[in-house]
Amino acid sequence: MDTLSKAESPNFKYSKRALRIFTYAETEAKKTNSIVYPIHLLIGTLIERTGICSELHSKYPDLLDIIIEHSLKKQPSCEQIPGCPPFSRPLSISTKQVLDHAFQAMERYNQVYINEGLIIKSIMNLPETLTTSVKDALDIEGILGIMSVPRDMIVSLKNYSFPYMADGEADIRKAEKNDIAPLKNFVKNNFGHGWLDSIETGFRQEKIPIYIACKNDTIVGFACFDSVQNKKGVFGPMGTAKTERTKGIGTQLLHHCLHEMKETGYEYAIISEAGPLEFYEIACGAVVIPNAL
């Protein structure tokens, strides 16, 4: 399968924020020759004022004007790729490369949506003429530190209540002592060995702070709290089998944990090194803890 057919496959999905960035990028491209270049994606990211994009703009308030000025210069002629969803305007080859690299990174990180962080990292790593011309004006390390690394998030539990959720496709229950072996196997098979210490920490506690999701008595997802290096008030890790994502299982697991954290007496929950930031923003109103400005 070539990269173009990958990008057009049903499994090639973008986060809602990434889709808004694309819309802004196309509007900016219309001001020149209507071809969407990577620099237009940068502009779209700075126009978007939610989540980490808002933090990016706050730290670099003059950056949008600088990049727009560069974008209005004569772009190099290039081969165009027409009709590449979700874009309505033609893309430059370099923009298509950005999307392909973001897709590959999404698969490496075992994610299901291409988000703004993957896109920005791909742009910064791309040796493309127009983007390179503006890179001297960019604090690349600082931008990547905001956009393209896992970030801690916080959820207020002061007024939290368990939300109504329709019955899901999996049964959610508290983990029991005899679940440790099958859960560790699930984690190893789906996510590697990195989370096993947290799983073992959770099972050593008198009240196991782990919930599991099962289908036909088979584990398809899990979520923990108070398990990362025994730190209290910290949610995670959480994981769902790739075949079971986007079905609401992760949201259910998250809220079972948050509900118990609220009942335990926590006023806030920290989500440590959250990857899919937009998932937590939508699911429970979590906000990114800003880097020092």
Tens digits of residue pLDDT in 276-290:
899 999 999 999 999
Which CATH number fits the domain that encloses residue 173? 3.40.630.30
**Is the residue at 252 inside a domain?**
yes
Which CATH number fits the domain that encloses residue 52? 1.10.1780.10
* Low-confidence residues in the chain, pLDDT < 50: 1-10
Of 84, 117, 149, the last residue of a domain is 149
- Amino acid identity, position 149: V
Neighbouring CB atoms inside 10 A of 93's CB total 13
Answer yes or no: do 242 and 107 share one domain.
Answer: no
**Is the residue at 256 inside a domain?**
yes
Residue 72: predicted pLDDT: 79
Answer yes or no: do 27 and 139 share one domain.
Answer: yes
Answer yes or no: do 118 and 136 share one domain.
Answer: yes
Residue 76: predicted pLDDT: 63
Answer yes or no: do 163 and 271 share one domain.
Answer: yes
Answer yes or no: do 177 and 113 share one domain.
Answer: no
Answer yes or no: do 69 and 121 share one domain.
Answer: yes
Answer yes or no: do 170 and 143 share one domain.
Answer: no
Residue 156: predicted pLDDT: 97
Residue 129: predicted pLDDT: 64
Answer yes or no: do 131 and 191 share one domain.
Answer: no
| Structural domain boundaries enclosing 225 | 154-288
**Is the residue at 293 inside a domain?**
no
Q: Is the dihedral of CA 223, 226, 230, 232 positive or negative?
A: positive
Answer yes or no: do 99 and 80 share one domain.
Answer: yes
Of 109, 130, 149, the last residue of a domain is 149
The answer, as to whether pTM is greater than 0.85, is: yes
Joined together, the tokens standing for residue 250 give 């992760």
Number of structural domains the chain divides into: 2
Tens digits of residue pLDDT in 214-238:
999 999 999 999 999 889 999 999 9
Answer yes or no: do 142 and 206 share one domain.
Answer: no
Answer yes or no: do 173 and 265 share one domain.
Answer: yes
Kindly provide the b/e burial profile for residues 9-21, where b requires at least 16 CB atoms within 10 angstroms of the residue's own CB: eeebbbbebbebb
**Is the residue at 29 inside a domain?**
yes
Place of tokens 């020092």: 292
Residue 69: predicted pLDDT: 85
Answer yes or no: do 9 and 92 share one domain.
Answer: yes
Of 124, 149, 174, the last residue of a domain is 149
